[in-house]
Chain A
C-alpha cells in the first residue's frame, strides 16, 4: 500500500512559511494601515489556516470525500456569519 502523506521536508517548508506569515502579520499591524489592516490580517490568517489544513492535516493528500467533509464545517460557518451579518448590517 502506498502512503499518501507529506515528507518531513514538506513539513519543514510549511512550518517556515507559517513563521514568515506570522512575522508579516505582526509587521503589517505595526504599520497601522487603518481600515485595510483587518483585511490584511485576516487574509494572512486564512492563508496560515489553509497551509495547516492542507499539509499538517493531510487534506492535500486526502480523498475528495474527506475534503467535502472538511469544507462542510466551513460552509456552515459561512451561513452562520453571512446571515447574521446580513441582518445586523441591514438594520437602520
Chain B
C-alpha cells in the first residue's frame, strides 16, 4: 500500500482505511433499514396470509431465480478478487476482474428483465388485468406480486448503481499508474456490491422457494 495517498486528517494509511470502512458500514446500515421495511411487510403478510403467498410463489420461475443467484454469487467472487488484485498492485488483473463483475451484473439484469417480461405476459402484474384464476385469494396474491415487483425492482436499481460504480472504478484503475492508488475506494465499492448480493441472497428464498 506504499502508493496509497494519505489525506491530511489521518495519522496513517491504516487509520484512513478503517475510517472509510466505518463510514461505508454506516451507509450500509441505512440500506439495511431501507430494504428492512419491505422485508418486514413481506414477513407480516407471509405470517398472516401464507396460503396466498405459497400459491403465488409457484407462479414464479424458480430456475431463473436460481441461475441469477449463481450469477450474483460469482460476481461477488470476481469483485473480491478484483479488490484483492488492486491491493496487491496487480493493476491489469484488477481491471479484468472489475470488468467481469460489471458484465455479470448486466447478465443478472438481462435475466431479470426476461423474467419480468414473462411475468407481464402471464398477467401477474397487480391491477385490473391481473390473472387470478389460479388462486383462492386474489387480494393477497396481488399483494405478493406488489412486493415481488417492488423488492426485486429496488434491488435492480441497486444493481444498476453498483454496475455504474464498478465500471467507473475499472476505468479509474485502468487509467492510473498504480492500482493501490484506488485500493481503498475500490474496497468500499466492493462492500456495496457484496451488500446488494446479500439482499438477493434473502430475496431468492423468500420470493421463489417459500412454497
Contact = CB atoms under 8 A, between A and B. Distances in A.
Interface of B is mostly: helix
A85 B44 contact: yes
Contacts of A84: 40, 43-44
Indicate the size class of the contact surface on chain B: 35 or more
B28 A73 contact: yes
A18 B77 CA distance: 10
Interface string A1-41: 10101101001101100110010011001001000011001
Interface residues of A, number: 47
A80 B77 CA distance: 31
Interface of A is mostly: helix
Interface of B: 1, 13-14, 18, 21-22, 25-26, 28-33, 36-37, 39-40, 43-44, 47-48, 62, 66, 69-70, 73-74, 76-77, 79-81, 84, 87, 187, 190-191, 194-195, 197-198, 201-202, 204-206, 209-211
Given A12-B77, A85-B40, 7 more contacts: A11-B81, A37-B210, A41-B205, A56-B190, A58-B21, A69-B22, A84-B44
